[in-house]
Amino acid sequence: MGIFSRHNHRPSSFLPRYVVFFAFMFLALLLYFEVDNLVSQTKTIVGHNLEPTPWHVFPVKSFDEESTYSKASTIIQCSYLTCSSSSLVTNIPRSTNSKTTESNSCPSFFRSIGYDLEPWAKSRISMSHVMEAQKYAAFRVVIVGGKLFVDFYYACVQSRAMFTIWGILQLLRRYPGKVPDVDLMFDCMDKPIIDRAEHASMPLPLFRYCTSPHHFDIPFPDWSFWGWSETHISPWNEEFKSIKQGSSSLSWGRKIPVAFWKGNPDVVSPIRIELLNCNNTEMWRARIMRQNWTEEERRGFQSSKLSKQCRYRYKIYAEGYAWSVSLKYILSCGSLPLIISPQYQDFLSRGLIPKKNYLSIPPFDLCPSIKAAVDWGNANPLEAEAIGKAAQDFMESLSMDRIYDYMYHLISEYAKLQDFVPVQPSSALEVCTNSVLCYADDKQKSLLRRSLAFPSDESPCTISR
Q: Does residue 142 contact residue 195 with C-beta atoms inside 8 Å?
A: no
According to the model, what pLDDT value does residue 381 have?
A: 98
Mean pLDDT to the nearest integer, 190-208: 97
According to the model, what pLDDT value does residue 266 have?
A: 85
Cα distance between residue 32 and residue 276, in whole Å: 56
Cα distance between residue 447 and residue 231, in whole Å: 12
Q: How confident is the model at residue 28 (pLDDT cuts 50, 70, 90)?
A: very low
- Whether 206 shows a pLDDT value over 70: the answer reads yes
Q: How confident is the model at residue 19 (pLDDT cuts 50, 70, 90)?
A: low
Q: Does residue 137 contact residue 206 with C-beta atoms inside 8 Å?
A: yes
Weakest mean pLDDT among 92-96, 231-235, 439-443:
92-96
Q: Does residue 344 contact residue 338 with C-beta atoms inside 8 Å?
A: no
- The full set of domain ranges for the chain reads 1-41, 47-465
Q: In three state form, how does the secondary structure of 147-211 look? A: EEEEEECCECCCCHHHHHHHHHHHHHHHCCCCCCCEEEEECCCCCCCCECCCCCCCCCCEEECCE
Mean pLDDT to the nearest integer, 131-136: 97
Mean pLDDT to the nearest integer, 65-76: 71
Q: Provide the 3-class DSSP secondary structure of residue 402.
A: helix
Q: Given CA atoms 266, 271, 274, 279 in this order, what sign does their dihedral have?
A: negative
Weakest mean pLDDT among 26-40, 243-257, 430-444:
26-40
Task: Summarize pLDDT for 279-329 with one digit per residue, the tens.
Answer: 999 999 999 998 776 666 666 666 567 888 899 999 999 999 999 999 999
Weakest mean pLDDT among 56-70, 284-298, 388-402:
56-70
- Whether 274 shows a pLDDT value over 50: the answer reads yes
Q: If you count them, how many residues does the chain have?
A: 465
Q: How confident is the model at residue 57 (pLDDT cuts 50, 70, 90)?
A: low
Q: Around Cβ 449, how many Cβ atoms within 10 Å?
A: 15
According to the model, what pLDDT value does residue 4 have?
A: 40
Task: Summarize pLDDT for 346-372 with one digit per residue, the tens.
Answer: 999 999 999 999 999 999 999 999 999
- Whether 271 shows a pLDDT value over 60: the answer reads yes
According to the model, what pLDDT value does residue 20 have?
A: 54
According to the model, what pLDDT value does residue 349 have?
A: 97
Q: Does residue 338 contact residue 315 with C-beta atoms inside 8 Å?
A: yes
Task: Summarize pLDDT for 207-241 with one digit per residue, the tens.
Answer: 999 999 999 999 999 999 999 999 999 999 999 99
Mean pLDDT to the nearest integer, 325-343: 97
From residue 104, alpha-carbon distances to 100, 107, 168, 455, 460 in Å are 8, 9, 22, 17, 8
Higher pLDDT, 187 or 10: 187
Q: Given CA atoms 240, 246, 249, 252 in this order, what sign does their dihedral have?
A: negative
Q: Does residue 137 contact residue 148 with C-beta atoms inside 8 Å?
A: no
